Amino acid sequence: MNMSRTREVISEYSYGSRMKNIMGFTGALAILLAAGAAHAQVDRTKQPPAAPAPAASFPAYEEFTLKNGLRVFFVRDSRPLVTFRMLVRGGRSVDGDLPGLGEAAADLLTQGTTKRSAEQYADEIDFIGGGVSASVSDDAIEVIGGGLRSQTEALLDLFADAVKNPAYPAEELDKYKQEQISGLQAQMAQPSWLVTQAVNRLLYGGSAYGQVRTAPAIMGLTREKIRNYHDTYFVPGNAVMAVVGDFTPKELRANLESKLGDWAPGAVPTLARPDFPERTGRRIILIDRPAAVQSNIRVVAGGPLFNDPIRPKTSILASILGGGSTARLYMNLRETHGYTYGSYSFFDANLYSGRFIAQAEVRNSVTDSALAEMLHEIERIQKENVPREELDRTVQAAEGTFLLSVAEPNITAQRVLFIQQYDLPKNYYNNLLDVYRSVTPTDVKELARRYLNPDNLAIVVVGRASEIQSGLERFGTVEVWKAEQFGG
C-alpha cells in the first residue's frame, strides 16, 4: 500500500472513530436526558413498591432417638461448619424460691467439669476455634456448640462434657457471685431494668417468672443447689437436640452415641404450670425514681401463646405499630413530636403466656404527652384499616427478615427445637411466609381490637413522681410502687 492510500485509510478510520464517539456521546446524552425526565416524574414522597420476595423453604430435617432416650433432629447442610443445640426444659420457671438458680446452672455449665478445669476447657475450645455456651430463658436452658466440621469429634466431646459433667467448682462459683452482685448493682441504677422487673411482676405475680434476682438470692447460691438443679433437669428424656452439618444420619448417630450415649437416663421431671394473676381493667403503675431526668414507659397487654396459629399475624400488627424507624410509634413520637429517640412494640410469648409491649423513653416534661400519643396510635389501629401499601411494606420486611435467617444454621437449629418445645406443627416455618402474605387490613384491625383493648391495658412508668404523677392521672388512678421492692 502506497503512502497516499495509507493516509486515506487512516483518515477514514479516524473519521469513523470520531463519528462513533459523536454518536456514542449523543446516545449517552439522550439516555441521560431521558433519565432526567423520568427522574423529574418520580414522586419522592412515596416509597417504590418492593419486588416480590423470592421463594424459600425451611430445610427438611430427620429425627432419631438415642438409646438413652435423647431425641435428635438433624438438618443436612453441606457447608464446612457444624452446629449443636440442646434445649433442656425448665429454665427460670423452676427456680423455686431462689431466683437466679437456673441462670447460675447455665452460666457455670462450661466453667469447669469433672474432667477439665475452667482454664483447660477454655483452652481446648480456643484451640479448635469453636465455642460452647449456655443460656437460660423462662422455659429452658439452651446449650449451643459450633465450629468447623473437621473438628466435630473434639467439639462434641467438649459439648457433651459440659452437659453431663459440670463440676460447678467452688472457686468459680465464688467469682460468679461477686460478678453477679456487681452487675446487679449496675442494673439497679438503670430505669430500663427496673421497668422490666415491674412489668414481669405485673404479669406474672409471685411465680418464678415474676421474681426478681436480689443480692441475698445470689449469695444464697450453693454448689449443692446448683448441682441438684442440674441433676434434676439435665436428663436425656427432658432434653431435645438439634444438629446442623454435613453428615449422614448413620454417621451422626454413631458420633452422638459415642459422646452422649453414656448420659444416664434419669427420671423425667414434672413441670407444673405457673400461677399467674388475673389482670382486667386499666392499671397505671408508677415507680418513683426521684433523681430520674427521663421516664421509661411501657404499655402492656396480653398476647397469644407461642403455639397459637394467630401469633405470626400479631407480629405484623406489632411491626406496623412499632417495628422500626418507619413504624407508627417511631414516626409519631420521634419524627413528628421529638419526644424520644425511638419507640417500639412487639409481641412475646413463653410456654404459658403471651404479652404485648410498647415502649419509649422520654423527657419527664413530656411523659403524659408521649403516653397520649402511644395510646392514640394503639386506638387508631383498632378503628382504621391499615392502608394496603403500609401493610404490604410490613409484610415484605417480615419476609426479608425470615429469608435472611434461613441461611443461619444456629437459627435453623433453634427453630427445629422450638417446634418440639412449643408443640408447633412440623410445617410451621414452611408455611410462615404464606401466613404473613395472608394478613389483610381487616385482620390487623381485628387483632388490635382483640389484644389491645384500651380499657384493658396496663401502663408502667419509671420516673420522677413529683414531676410526672399529676400528668399520668389524666389516664386513670395511679398506683405508686416503691423501687425498693425490686432492689432498686
Residue 200: CATH number of its domain = 3.30.830.10
Residue 380 CA to residue 30 CA, distance in Å, equals 49
pLDDT value of residue 56? 61
Cell 389483610 -> residue = 440
Looking at the structure, tell me whether residues 196 and 287 fall in a common domain. Answer: no
Looking at the structure, tell me whether residues 228 and 340 fall in a common domain. Answer: no
Phi then psi for 240, rounded to 5 degrees?
Answer: -135, 150
User: Mind listing the pLDDT tens digit for each residue in 40-98?
Assistant: 555 655 656 655 555 567 899 999 999 999 999 999 999 999 999 999 999 999 998 89
Handedness of CA 87, 300, 384, 391 (dihedral sign): negative
Indicate whether 331 pLDDT > 70. Answer: yes
Looking at the structure, tell me whether residues 293 and 256 fall in a common domain. Answer: no
pTM: predicted TM-score of the whole model, two decimal places: 0.85
Among 210, 176, 169, 171, smallest CA distance to 104 is for 176
pLDDT value of residue 198? 95
Least-confidence region, from 6-10, 162-166, 261-265, 296-300: 6-10
- Where residue 390 falls (left for φ over 0; alpha for ψ -120 to 50; beta otherwise) is alpha
Residue 12 CA to residue 145 CA, distance in Å, equals 72
Mean pLDDT of 156-183: 97
Contacts of 253 (CB under 8 A, 6+ apart): 64, 66, 72
The parent domain of residue 242 ranges over 62-260
Contact in structure between 284 and 476 (CB atoms under 8 Å): yes
Looking at the structure, tell me whether residues 244 and 297 fall in a common domain. Answer: no
Looking at the structure, tell me whether residues 364 and 478 fall in a common domain. Answer: yes
Question: Does 352 reside within a domain?
Answer: yes
Looking at the structure, tell me whether residues 209 and 318 fall in a common domain. Answer: no
| Rg (alpha carbons) of the chain, rounded to whole number | 29
Cα-to-chain-centroid distance, residue 122: 27
Looking at the structure, tell me whether residues 294 and 415 fall in a common domain. Answer: yes
Least-confidence region, from 89-98, 188-197, 478-487: 478-487
Question: Does 33 reside within a domain?
Answer: no
Looking at the structure, tell me whether residues 195 and 325 fall in a common domain. Answer: no
Looking at the structure, tell me whether residues 302 and 202 fall in a common domain. Answer: no
Indicate whether 364 pLDDT > 90. Answer: yes
Question: Does 41 reside within a domain?
Answer: no
Question: Does 224 reside within a domain?
Answer: yes
Using DSSP's 3-state secondary structure scheme, residue 17 falls into: helix
Q: How confident is the model at residue 486 (pLDDT cuts 50, 70, 90)?
A: confident
Question: Does 26 reside within a domain?
Answer: no
Write down the mean pLDDT value for the chain: 90
Looking at the structure, tell me whether residues 210 and 311 fall in a common domain. Answer: no
Question: Does 424 reside within a domain?
Answer: yes
Among 214, 236, 179, 257, smallest CA distance to 100 is for 214
Q: How many domains does the chain have?
A: 2
Question: Does 9 reside within a domain?
Answer: no
pLDDT value of residue 41? 58
State the angle between helix axes of 191-204 and 170-188 in degrees (0 to 180), rounded to the nearest 10. 100
Question: Does 49 reside within a domain?
Answer: no
Among 251, 259, 310, 333, smallest CA distance to 67 is for 259
User: Mind listing the pLDDT tens digit for each residue in 396-422?
Assistant: 999 999 999 998 999 999 999 999 999
pLDDT value of residue 25? 43
Looking at the structure, tell me whether residues 247 and 304 fall in a common domain. Answer: no
Indicate whether 14 pLDDT > 90. Answer: no
Looking at the structure, tell me whether residues 175 and 252 fall in a common domain. Answer: yes
